[in-house]
A and B are shown apart, each in its own frame.
Chain A
Amino acid sequence: MLSLEAMHLPPTVGTVHADGAFSLLWLVIALPALGAAILLLGGKATDKWGHLLATAAVVLSFVLSLVLFFDLAGRHSGDRQVNQHLWTWFTAGTYRVDFGLLYDQLSAVFLLLITGVGALIHVYSIGYMAHDERRRRFFGYLNLFVAAMLILVLASDYVGVFLGWEGVGLASYLLIGFWQYKPTAAAAAKKAFVINRVGDIGLSLGASLIFVTFGSTSFAAVSAAAPHASHGALTAIGLLLLLAACGKSAQFPLQSWLLDAMEGPTPVSALIHAATMVTAGVYLIVRSNFIFSLTDDARTGVIIIGCITLLMGAVIGCAKDDIKKALAGSTMSQIGYMVLAAGLGPAGYAFAIFHLLTHGFFKANMFLGAGSVMHGTNDDVNMRHYGALRKAMPITFATFGIGYLAILGVPPFAGFWSKDKIIEAAFGDNFVVGLCALIGAGVTAFYMTRLMLLTYFGPESSGRGERWQKDVNPHESPNVMTYPLIALATLSALGGLFAVNGWITHWLSPVVGNRPHDDLGIPSIVLSLIVLAVVAVGVAVAVQLVGRRPVPLVAPEKVSVLTRAARADLYGDAFNDEVIIRPGVAGIRGLGIFDRSFIDGIPEGIAVALTAISMTFRRVQNGMVRSYALAILGGAALVLLALLAVSFK
């Protein structure tokens, strides 16, 4: 094994100094950060134009990212890892943390995704949040999120990543709980925050262990030193980083917050809980490829987590009637695919990032589409109240349809190019893993078809869907919302272009390495056909079970055990309640009793005893001068006796 690893040492992170246009790299982060500062500190004065400023900041950031991207692409491939040292953050002994930015092929892709999709979602939000009186604050938080996410992907140091990591966690918390007057939203925000803390422990411990092992936390230093580190240390670091990824990317066993996070406004679900923030875990694993490539054990853990989550998310997605929760299950599942791909090592890193990219397009597209549907149906999220919306909302339907085809992996849409590659690489690694991915594709086809059928198809009479609520008059959303949909649908359709001639693999290989997966024994076109056949089966089952039957307005009670489990998020919350919360609460209660009875008992007991003694002895102060005189005399006599006793010893 050692010789094999030695032959495939992961690439190190380069340290080309940022010059020319790259010296403006910091501006990509600074623009949305400034926007957030102005909006959040400016207060009501910015109410009128705040949303425009925020959108402009992200659009400018996107333009700059685009310029930088082409500048980077024009460089010689050896010079594409640009470092910009901004300032020395802090030093402690020999440990020094620089606040620096690393702009390489991987960050470049993320920059485009975050600012591009972010800009589209900002535009969409102008329409979606038009009637919300706290719109300015919403845009302030969105800008804050974009800035934090950009710090996360641009930082050249694990400590910098941690800053961004916490920043996006904060923004996510603020945005999930944006409608804080709804108790469910407030609770969901708290839940997301707390569960993310668990993952964050993984990142902070992982970064600490990296420092202990390598004496530095910068990517360049760690990637250079990683091959000399012990296998145990690398595995421990890998597993801690995996824990971090599980928290942020809603992977098993820290997945339960994502479904609740759908309480936030829909653009938030699209940007943060589908396209960007939840993929930060995948980014972390791929960015730390110089660690994961060297430890098979940690990678096995990553693969297992990915497989479990991709099936879990898909099963949950099948049973949800809430359109956003169905999509959230789907997001979990798709990120499971990415994590799985990242766990495959150099054979899968590039595909993980590629799927992350295409998923960012089509899932943001579908979330915004769901938001558009909700916008037209008085914010109803129950798919059983939809049906036959394709005529009322043609643009939403068309764009959603493209997203649907993309997530199914129908050629030539984006998902085909990314998901197929992952399934192929998974089969190349291990048959069971490949089978999981393949089954996941079939289940994906089922729940997405169910979602489509419930929402856009179904019986209608005289232009009204039969399942619509009485006061609902579905209508297409305004242009400011449909244009971003069209843009994202275009990207969902054409995202596969990134894979032409294996461009994405070549582009990323200087960062993540590249090793073709093991030979499958069958041509990849055959595997693609098998995948398509499985997808077709999923679609057919959905059509048979959902499309051909009347849809009850209320979810039926008599359902199979699996459906009931899926409706309850596969008992993720129940598991947390039983295994963590209940013993935790019991322990805390015990500690409370211990604190009140024992710890408090000591000072309180002393106080009580002193009070009792004082109550007794205050009787001495009886006001009688003669008894005082006796006491003084007795005392003087005692002192005298004592002196005599001492001097005549």
Chain B
Amino acid sequence: MSTTPFIVLSAILFTIGSIGVLTRRNAIVVFMCVELMLNASNLALITFSRANGNLDGQIAAFFVMVVAAAEVVVGLAIIMTIFRTRRSASVDDASLLKY
């Protein structure tokens, strides 16, 4: 079984995710794009794990999932708080912390 389609898919998903992070202003969408990038990397990890015949990549994928879950909890909480104070979920509006 060739790994190429999986890796290509992973690359496409990662690219979509990163473009989304860079171009979209809505914090929720940015957040979803980050999840997309994480899952693209998970796909790559599992593909290589299968190709190499060991479980290292799969274990790493589990770790990524755990981190992603934790990130969702914290990230959504932050987005909620920002929205409550500013009535906006645009990441460009939350730009006060600067030079």
| A interface with B by C-beta (< 8 Å) | 618-619, 621-626, 629-630, 633
Contact = CB atoms under 8 A, between A and B. Distances in A.
Contact of B98 (A621, A626, A633): A621
B99 A621 contact: yes
Contacts of B85: none
Contact of A629 (B22, B95, B96, B99): B22
A623 B98 contact: yes
A508 B21 CA distance: 106
B94 A626 contact: no
Interface string B64-99: 000000000000000000000000000110111111
A622 B95 contact: yes
Contacts of A623: 94-99
B99 to A, nearest CB: 4
Contacts of B91: 624-626
A446 to B, nearest CB: 86
Interface of B: 18, 21-23, 25, 30, 91-92, 94-99
* Residue among B30, B96, B97, B99 having the largest count of chain A Cβ atoms under 10 Å: B99
B99 A633 contact: no
Nearest to B34: A629
A628 to B, nearest CB: 10
Nearest to B33: A629
Nearest to B94: A625
A613 to B, nearest CB: 14
Contact of B18 (A622, A625, A633): A633
Nearest to A615: B99
A622 B94 CA distance: 11
27 contacts: A618-B99, A619-B99, A621-B98, A621-B99, A622-B95, A622-B98, A622-B99, A623-B95, A623-B96, A623-B98, A623-B99, A624-B91, A624-B92, A624-B98, A625-B91, A625-B92, A625-B94, A625-B95, A626-B21, A626-B22, A626-B23, A626-B25, A626-B30, A626-B91, A629-B21, A633-B18, A633-B22
A639 to B, nearest CB: 15
A618 B25 CA distance: 24
A619 B92 CA distance: 16
A593 B22 CA distance: 55
Contacts of B23: 626
Given A622-B95, A623-B96, 13 more contacts: A621-B98, A621-B99, A623-B94, A623-B97, A623-B98, A624-B91, A625-B91, A625-B92, A626-B21, A626-B23, A626-B25, A626-B92, A630-B22
Contacts of B21: 626, 629
Contacts of B98: 621-624
Contacts of B22: 626, 629-630, 633
Nearest to B25: A626
Nearest to A630: B22
Contacts of B99: 618-619, 621-623
Nearest to A620: B99
A626 B97 CA distance: 13
A282 B95 CA distance: 86
A358 B55 CA distance: 111
A622 B92 CA distance: 10
A618 B99 CA distance: 6
B9 to A, nearest CB: 19
A321 B25 CA distance: 98
Nearest to B95: A623
B17 to A, nearest CB: 11
A626 to B, nearest CB: 6
A624 B23 CA distance: 12
Contacts of A619: 99
Contacts of A624: 91-92, 95, 98
Nearest to A637: B18
Contacts of A621: 98-99
